[in-house]
Amino acid sequence: MLPGLVSPLRPVAPGIRRPDYAATGEPSDRAARAVRTADEIEAMRVAGRVAADALVTVGAAVRPGITTDELDEIGHEAMVAAGAYPSTLNYRGYPKSLCSSVNEVICHGIPDSRRLVEGDIVNLDVTAYIEGVHGDTSATFLVGEVDDRSAELVATTRAAMRAGIDVVRPGARIFEIGRAIEAVALPRGFSIVREFIGHGIGDQFHTSLQIPHYYDPRNDTVLLPGMTFTIEPMVNVGARTLEMWDDGWTVVTRDLQRSAQFEHTVLVTTDGVEILTLPTDGVPAEERFARPELVVEPTGQDPGS
């Protein structure tokens, strides 16, 4: 991948509520509570739905020949039409309304003039701010036919995210999430990125709550009802070592082998977990656009073994 041209900032209508960093680029460093109020949770269902609907809309537009800037425009318009501010816009100076991470780009790829080509994989990461809270979700899409290892990478990463979500319940410890993700990804020969992790989310985009996607027994924080955070594993075909482009955002694998990612925002309920980033019709992007023959079971076991 090479950097392309980045288009000018897209406007957001003045009637749309903006997060604290929208003008300055710097989020305030207020301490965030780990447990959300009932009103915040209700609002996060709205923000999650708006982000997920926008992700479905941009995912449907993925095809050979479209530029990632055009995908950004589609995502931007979907969010503002729903009354939301695209959370990434000017977040710490980030210039676009979503992240588009193609092939060896691990995360935070900036939409630009590059056209997708058949065989690419692209993660689109959409975050919406509405009613004072954020919803954050992403999926990796296949552009036409892709090689078998890329398809396996994407299916495995999706299953790994699912396995991480499935261990979330009150009383569970945070390290169980990474352990479940590893159990899916590592036996298939993939590596897991450590430098970028899931995060608490609510009235702030990123709170201090840390959700590693690898097994870290020191992170034994107990999950409580009302906690909201993301699970967003980045899984690589080759080594987990990464590098950053000079743009200060685009994170790539050092060996230039491919990387995939899926993300949901989740809520710890009184008896389990609720995915907050589901679209209006309840069918998430990763389910709509999956190739059925490529689904990997989220158990860590090979279906055939």
288's CB contacts (< 8 A; 6+ apart) are 56, 59
**Which C-beta is closer to ligand MF3: that of 208 or that of 301?**
208
Question: In degrees rounded to 5, what are phi and psi of residue 23?
Answer: -85, -40
- 264 counts as binding ligand MF3 under rule CB under 6 A: no
Question: Between helices 148-166 and 175-185, what is the axis angle to 10°?
Answer: 150
Report residue 279 as tokens: 């679209």
Largest CA distance in the chain: 57
Region from 19-27, 85-93, 156-164, 284-292 binding ligand MF3, contact rule CB under 6 A: 85-93
Count of positions on this chain that bind ligand MF3 (CB under 6 A): 13
* Residue 120 near which of ligand MF3, Co ion, none (CB within 5-8 Å, type-dependent): none
**Which C-beta is closer to Co ion: that of 242 or that of 300?**
242
**Which C-beta is closer to ligand MF3: that of 147 or that of 195?**
195
- 91 counts as binding ligand MF3 under rule CB under 6 A: yes
Q: How far apart are CA 231 and CA 216, in angstroms?
A: 15
Closest CA to 120 of 161, 68, 194: 68
Inter-CA distances, 122 with 23, 41, 118, Å: 29, 30, 11
The residue from 72, 120, 125, 131 that contacts Co ion (CB under 5 A) is 125
Give least dist CB 140 to ligand MF3, A.
Answer: 13
Give least dist CB 99 to ligand MF3, A.
Answer: 5
Contact of 213 with 106, CB cutoff 8 Å: no
Report residue 192 as tokens: 């897991």
**Which C-beta is closer to ligand MF3: that of 152 or that of 228?**
228
* Residue 240 near which of Co ion, ligand MF3, none (CB within 5-8 Å, type-dependent): none
Contact of 94 with 51, CB cutoff 8 Å: no
- 230 counts as binding Co ion under rule CB under 5 A: yes
Closest CA to 145 of 108, 172, 118, 168: 118
- 108 counts as binding ligand MF3 under rule CB under 6 A: yes
- 88 counts as binding ligand MF3 under rule CB under 6 A: yes
Q: How far apart are CA 165 and CA 16, in angstroms?
A: 32
Count of positions on this chain that bind Co ion (CB under 5 A): 6
- 136 counts as binding Co ion under rule CB under 5 A: yes
Subset of 224-243 contacting ligand MF3 (CB under 6 A): 230, 232
* Residue 91 near which of Co ion, ligand MF3, none (CB within 5-8 Å, type-dependent): ligand MF3
Subset of 188-217 contacting ligand MF3 (CB under 6 A): none
Give least dist CB 160 to Co ion, A.
Answer: 15
Give least dist CB 248 to ligand MF3, A.
Answer: 10
Strands 105-107 and 198-199: unpaired
- 99 counts as binding ligand MF3 under rule CB under 6 A: yes
Residue 292 CB coordination number (10 Å)? 5
Closest CA to 192 of 202, 181, 200, 203: 181
* Residue 262 near which of ligand MF3, Co ion, none (CB within 5-8 Å, type-dependent): none
194's CB contacts (< 8 A; 6+ apart) are 212, 213, 214, 240
Site map for ligand MF3, 32-71, x if CB under 6 A? ----------------------------------------
Report residue 142 as tokens: 């296949």
Residues contributing to the site for ligand MF3 (CB under 6 A)? 88, 91-92, 94, 99, 108, 125, 127, 136, 230, 232, 249, 263
